[in-house]
Amino acid sequence: MEFAHDLPAGVTDWVAGLCEGSITRLERHVARREAWVVDVRCRNGDVSEGFLRIDRDPQPGNPWSLHKEARIVAALGPSPVPVPDLYGWNDDLSCALFERAPGRSDLDKVTDSTQQRAVMEDFIRVVGDLHNLELDALGLDDVIPTRPKTREDHALGELDLILGIWAGFLESYTDPLITLGVDWLRRNVPKEVSRTSLVQGDTGPVNFLFEADRVSAVIDWEWGHFGDPMEDLGNICVREFWNPSGGLKGIFDLYERSSGIPYMREAAQYYRVQQNMRGMIPIHAVTVQAHPREPIAWYLAYRYVGDRATCEAIAEAMGIELERPALPEDETDPADGGDAIFAAASQYALEHDVRPAVGNEFAKSRVSDVVVLVQCMERRRRFARDLDAIERGEIAALLHTRPASKLEAFAQLDDALREGRIDHEPALRYLARRSYRDEWLHAPAAALYPDRQWSPID
């Protein structure tokens, strides 16, 4: 049976050969990272349900490689941590075939709060099991060669890794929120680390599957590394922010009771910021240097909702209240004329004429992305100039300068932060106001994750 696809030559033959059969289903999976749903009918008539991941452009030394993820999954197979089976890895094609584990990932869509809570409680016990694994027994030193030794190593190792990899981008890109966030993390390293563990590095809702009230598989291990177990608790806060799953009240106390590992609230707050900063830098990069293949609309949501969330997380850790700024009236000016009409016509055609006629789910998602991008472009055209003037004015009042442009204003604030000429608190208050305005400006993208708020942590 032939299937339309753009996979590199040899991939489908390899998949079929692993299972000693023929492919009966091959569909592009809708996800941030490329993946394919594949079924293979074996010679004995059984069907192997697989999940194919591929890295089309493997980079030597990539610390988040698909190969590392495959090795971690294989190492965890015999452990108490449920993971999909790894059917095979191909070095030449840089692809992995995993078991398509049973269960669903959308805990945020579960309407039964009792089930949500039961799943989260089972999940936090799984996280405790992960953190108690003996590192030497895992045999992962070839793909995770570094073990942190000091408090600073645990807290800053992954951040410094990100900064190093994206150094070229950061040399030509200025955002004072990145500068402030990195500086805040360096100044506020947690005072204690109870142990060094294998951490998933991006754990929480959506990155595990569940059936009924139990976790069936923990997935997405490319960010796995050795670190402070409190880092994963901060990660859970971030994941639950994006995918609200009943809140976190009492969840971390259960973690301490079930795992025996002390829960440190300030450290969890710290790693909540750290995870956001680690994600913010590549997210900013992909929205500035986006390849057309990327789901840019989703990245805009991650960027502008994420920037606001970062400001709020730092403010909560600092114990300060933020103020939401006044926002412009969101009304179309009749003087906009043709441009507004053209934008509306484009949106209508895509939503009402094109998308319903598309049968492939991945292609439908791409159409939806384009609708959001058209809407964001139109809002930028209407409002960006007035908002830029507000940014220049507020930074001028903050630094007692008169920047000629928004970019110059950001550069001046960035310099002031790097040189210690402005304290974190007033800079953060301004950056939070900017983030609220940016999220509003990109409302069509932000609507992909509406009304996201941090769940309180005990």
Please indicate whether residue 363 or residue 144 has the higher confidence score (pLDDT).
144
pLDDT band for 176, please (50, 70, 90 cuts): very high
Which residues touch 239 (CB under 8 Å, ≥6 apart)? 202, 203, 204, 205, 206, 207
* Average confidence (pLDDT) over 394-399: 96
Give the pLDDT confidence score for residue 254 in this predicted structure. 98
Measured distance CA(329)–CA(107) in Å, rounded = 36
Give the pLDDT confidence score for residue 43 in this predicted structure. 84
User: Model confidence over 315-362: pLDDT tens digits?
Assistant: 999 999 999 999 987 765 555 555 677 777 777 777 776 778 777 788
Measured distance CA(1)–CA(360) in Å, rounded = 18
CATH of domain 107-289: 3.90.1200.10
Measured distance CA(355)–CA(426) in Å, rounded = 46
pLDDT band for 289, please (50, 70, 90 cuts): confident
Among 246-255, 294-303, 357-366, the range of highest mean pLDDT: 246-255
pLDDT band for 36, please (50, 70, 90 cuts): very high
Give the pLDDT confidence score for residue 263 in this predicted structure. 98
Give the pLDDT confidence score for residue 416 in this predicted structure. 97
Give the pLDDT confidence score for residue 252 in this predicted structure. 98
Give the pLDDT confidence score for residue 331 in this predicted structure. 65
- 291 pLDDT above the threshold of 60: yes
* Average confidence (pLDDT) over 405-419: 95
Give the pLDDT confidence score for residue 335 in this predicted structure. 56
- 18 pLDDT above the threshold of 70: yes
The tokens describing 144, both together, are 């995770």
Look over the chain and give the mean of its residue pLDDT values, rounded to a whole number. Answer: 93
Q: Which amino acid, 13?
A: D
Give the pLDDT confidence score for residue 357 in this predicted structure. 73
Which of these, 303, 309, 278, lies nearest to 199 by C-alpha position?
278
* Average confidence (pLDDT) over 38-52: 92
Give the pLDDT confidence score for residue 426 in this predicted structure. 97
Residue 185 φ then ψ, to 5°: -65, -40
Give the pLDDT confidence score for residue 255 in this predicted structure. 98
Give the pLDDT confidence score for residue 238 in this predicted structure. 98
Measured distance CA(157)–CA(150) in Å, rounded = 10
- Tell the CATH topology of 11-99: Phosphorylase Kinase; domain 1 (3.30.200)
User: Model confidence over 75-119: pLDDT tens digits?
Assistant: 999 999 999 999 999 999 999 999 999 999 999 999 999 999 999
Give the pLDDT confidence score for residue 1 in this predicted structure. 64
Give the pLDDT confidence score for residue 456 in this predicted structure. 95
Which residues touch 45 (CB under 8 Å, ≥6 apart)? none
How is the chain split into domains, by residue range?
A: 11-99, 107-289, 318-446
Give the pLDDT confidence score for residue 402 in this predicted structure. 87
Give the pLDDT confidence score for residue 336 in this predicted structure. 59
Which percentage of the chain shows pLDDT scores above 90? 80
User: Model confidence over 216-246: pLDDT tens digits?
Assistant: 999 999 999 999 999 999 999 999 999 999 9
Give the pLDDT confidence score for residue 260 in this predicted structure. 98
* Average confidence (pLDDT) over 162-170: 95
| CA 273 to chain centroid | 13
* Average confidence (pLDDT) over 358-382: 86
Asked whether 199 and 44 are in contact (CB, 8 A), the reply is no
